[in-house]
Every structure is written in structure tokens, then in C-alpha cells.
């Protein structure tokens, strides 16, 4: 039996969540040597056994505390012998830990660093927090049946799609690095990816049967869609994170529930969701967005496709552009720092087939 397609490709995986796990799993499935670098206590996905097992097969693991100089030195030794590093910290965290692109490139000039985040490494929303439904909301990807709550996709399309896109971008950058010796910093934004899928299409089909606004997170009272005082909708993405729950409660006047653990929230989910729903229903959407975003609560407005196309975040990142002819165009959904993708170009004209022999 021959080796895998990616035999010999060495990948250092710093990711802690599903998008990074998906990308590196796809590479490992094809024979790449993937080394997970886990923080003390292990990867955050380990308690979600089914997901962890299915997205971390064929990988090896080492525990390093990147806040310690000696552990960071060990990581840089690993980077010196690798071709790829994958991380999905919030933007700026890798630099603060001393493992950003410039620091890694000083160790290995041809390294390919793939950074996966919700809204990308730059842009008005780059520091915003969120989960898959938040990115769907900003991207105009939710189904909104008349008179019913907006409905996210039944699958984690942002998580899974960004992992697939990251694997594609990594292989493109590795080919370039092997040819030129130049590394690359890949910037994968889950919201960009979804927006690039929505933009060329018409409005999202609203004929689906609406799902419960709580979606599949029935034990998470602050996960899903909520209507605001002005008849608009927001998505909250507070799942397991206690600090997000506390910030939400403080921001909407539910101070009595600050300090509840995930287990306590799950036990009282129905009552808590009722209180969260009522508090949000008393506030206009934009005022609520501003107040909670300042506290880093994962909240997003449910945008229509047209609202997404004009949103300054996607414009600033080049996901949505305006061409010389005045028409909106969809840019390449991934950013490359060293070798940027081409800007959108015109399609080829329809030409008659050439005479035989002139192909």
C-alpha cells in the first residue's frame, strides 16, 4: 500500500475549536503528520467526546503552556521543522503569545500560518465574539419565514465550511512556499466564507418550516434567536462560557443570575430563557448590539442578504466589492498576507468554438 497524498507534510495544530480541528483532520486523513499542541488541562473540545474523537483522528499531541518561555521555545523548535501552523485564537492573541506570523517567520521563513476566526484578523468586527449562528446572522445566511423567528442552518456550516476552506488555502500556500521559499499568513473568516456563499445568490429561501428559536441548544438559555423591541432579531451565542453568561446578565439587567454555572443554567434553562427573552424584547436592536458588544457578548444582528452586502465589515475586508462597472462583486473569501488573491475580474465572453486543430 502506498502512502497518503500528504505524506511528509508536518503540521503544528494550535487550534482549540472545531474549525481548526476540521482543517487539520482533513490534512491528517491524507497522511499529513499533525501534532496537536494543547494547553494545560487539554483541548477545550475534549469534553465533547463525539466531536473530539471524530475531528482529531490520526493526530499526535503534546501539552505546552505558551505563557511559559521554555514551553514557547519548544514550540518554536517544532515550527522550525514544520511547514504549517494552524491557530484559531481571537485576533491578536497569537501575537501576544509570541507565536504570530512575524515571530514564526523569524524561526522558519517558509512557514505557512493559517489563522481561523469568526470575523477575520482585521475589519470593524474583527474583535467581536461569536459562535456559528452569529456568523450566519451577519452573513445573511439565516432563513426568516414570515412571522416566525429567523432559523439558522441545522449544521455548523461556518465551522465546517471554514475548516474545509482552510485546508484548501493551506495546500495552496504550501505549494507556493515549496516553490518560492516564501511563507504565508492565511486569514480565514467564518463570516466572510458564509457571506461569499450568500452574496451571489438570491435571498435565502423562507419557505422552510421554522425551527424553535433555541435550535439544538435546548439546555442553553442564551443560545439562539431573540426578537427586539423594534421587531428585529438578534442571535446570542452564549453556550458553555460562564464569563459570556455573566456579561450578558449584567448587560440586560439580570444581575441576580450572574455566577450561574453551565450546569445550573441547563437545569433552569426554560425559566432563564423566558427572562432573557423578555429583557431583550424591551430593548431596540441597535442599542442592544452596541451595549452587549462592548462587553464582548457573542451577539449578532440577523441581517438580510441586502443588509449584508452593504455591511462595512465585509466591504472593508474585500469580501464584497464594487467593480469598475458599478456592480457588486464577490471577492475571494480568504485573505493571504504575502501573496494576495486576485481581485474579482470580468467573466470571459462567449466565443464560438475554434476550428479543429486550433485548441
Q: Is the pLDDT of residue 215 over 50?
A: no
Q: How is residue 226 written as a grid cell?
A: 431573540
Given a contact cutoff of 8 angstroms between Cβ atoms, the answer to whether 173 and 27 are in contact is no
Sequential DSSP letters for 116-152:
EESS-SSSTTTT----HHHHHHHTT-SB--TTS--B-
- Report the chain's mean pLDDT, rounded to a whole number: 88
User: CA-to-CA distance for 16 and 51, rounded, in angstroms?
Assistant: 12
Residue 194 has pLDDT above 50, yes or no: yes
CATH code: domain 10-196 is 3.40.50.10540
Q: Cα–Cα distance between 320 and 62 in angstroms, integer?
A: 40
Nearest partner of 136 among 19, 303, 314, judged by Cα? 303
Q: Judge whether 10-196 and 209-302 match in fold.
A: no
Place of cell 442578504: 305
- Tell me, what's the pLDDT at 101? 97
Q: How far apart are CA 46 and CA 26, in angstroms?
A: 19
Phi, psi (deg, nearest 5) at residue 24:
-75, -25
- pLDDT bin (cut points 50, 70, 90) of residue 148 is confident
Mean pLDDT calculated for residue range 150-170: 91
Higher pLDDT, 347 or 44: 44
Give 309-341 pLDDT, tens digit per residue: 899 999 999 988 887 777 778 888 888 899 888
Q: Provide the pLDDT for residue 339.
A: 86
209-302 has which fold? formyl-coa transferase, domain 3 (3.30.1540)
**Who wins on pLDDT, 350 or 211?**
350
| Residue 350 CA, distance from chain mean position | 38
Does residue 265 surpass a pLDDT of 80? yes
Which residue is associated with the grid cell 518554536? 76
Domain residue spans of the chain? 10-196, 209-302
pTM: 0.78
Per-residue pLDDT, 11: 97
pLDDT higher for 101 or 143? 101
Residue 266: burial class (beta carbons within 10 Å; 0-12, 13-18, 19+) = middle
| Residue 206 pLDDT exceeds 70 | no
Is the Cβ–Cβ distance between 236 and 290 less than 8 Å? Answer: no
Q: Is pLDDT of 1 > 60?
A: no
- pLDDT for the residue 218: 58
Helix, strand, coil percentages in the chain from 3-state DSSP, rounded to 5: 40, 15, 45
Biggest CA pair distance of the chain: 80
| Residue 152 pLDDT class (50, 70, 90 cuts) | confident
Amino acid at each position: 500500500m502506498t502512502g497518503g497524498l500528504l505524506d511528509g507534510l508536518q503540521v503544528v495544530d494550535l487550534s482549540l475549536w472545531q474549525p481548526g480541528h476540521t482543517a487539520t483532520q482533513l490534512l491528517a486523513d491524507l497522511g499529513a503528520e499533525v501534532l496537536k499542541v494543547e494547553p494545560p488541562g487539554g483541548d477545550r473540545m475534549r469534553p465533547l467526546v463525539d466531536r473530539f474523537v471524530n475531528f482529531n483522528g490520526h493526530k499526535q499531541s503534546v501539552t505546552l503552556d505558551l505563557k511559559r518561555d521554555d514551553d514557547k521555545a519548544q514550540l518554536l523548535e517544532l515550527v522550525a521543522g514544520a511547514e504549517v501552523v494552524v491557530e484559531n485564537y481571537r485576533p491578536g492573541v497569537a501575537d501576544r503569545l509570541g507565536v504570530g506570523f512575524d515571530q514564526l517567520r523569524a524561526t522558519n521563513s517558509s512557514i505557512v500560518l493559517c489563522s481561523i476566526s469568526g470575523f477575520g484578523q482585521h475589519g470593524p468586527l474583527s474583535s467581536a465574539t461569536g459562535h456559528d449562528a452569529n456568523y450566519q446572522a451577519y452573513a445573511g445566511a439565516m432563513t426568516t419565514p414570515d412571522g416566525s423567528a429567523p432559523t439558522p442552518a441545522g449544521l455548523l456550516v461556518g465551522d465546517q465550511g471554514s475548516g474545509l476552506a482552510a485546508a484548501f488555502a493551506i495546500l495552496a500556500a504550501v505549494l507556493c512556499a515549496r516553490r518560492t521559499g516564501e511563507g504565508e499568513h492565511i486569514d480565514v473568516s467564518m463570516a466572510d466564507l458564509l457571506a461569499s456563499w450568500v452574496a451571489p445568490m438570491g435571498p435565502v429561501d423562507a419557505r422552510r418550516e421554522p425551527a424553535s428559536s433555541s435550535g439544538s441548544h435546548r439546555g442553553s438559555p442564551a443560545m439562539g434567536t431573540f426578537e427586539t423591541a423594534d421587531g428585529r432579531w438578534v442571535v446570542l451565542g452564549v453556550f458553555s462560557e460562564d464569563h459570556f453568561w455573566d456579561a450578558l446578565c449584567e448587560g440586560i439587567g439580570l444581575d441576580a443570575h450572574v455566577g450561574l454555572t453551565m450546569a445550573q443554567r441547563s437545569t433552569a434553562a426554560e425559566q432563564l430563557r423566558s427572562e432573557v427573552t423578555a429583557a431583550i424584547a424591551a430593548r431596540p436592536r441597535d442599542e442592544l448590539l452596541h451595549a452587549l458588544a462592548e462587553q464582548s457578548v457573542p451577539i449578532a444582528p440577523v441581517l438580510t442578504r441586502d443588509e449584508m452586502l452593504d455591511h462595512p465589515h465585509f466591504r472593508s475586508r474585500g469580501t464584497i466589492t464594487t467593480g469598475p462597472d458599478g456592480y457588486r462583486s464577490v471577492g475571494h473569501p480568504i485573505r493571504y498576507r504575502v501573496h494576495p488573491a486576485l481581485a474579482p475580474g470580468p467573466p470571459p465572453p462567449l466565443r464560438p468554438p475554434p476550428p479543429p486543430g486550433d485548441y
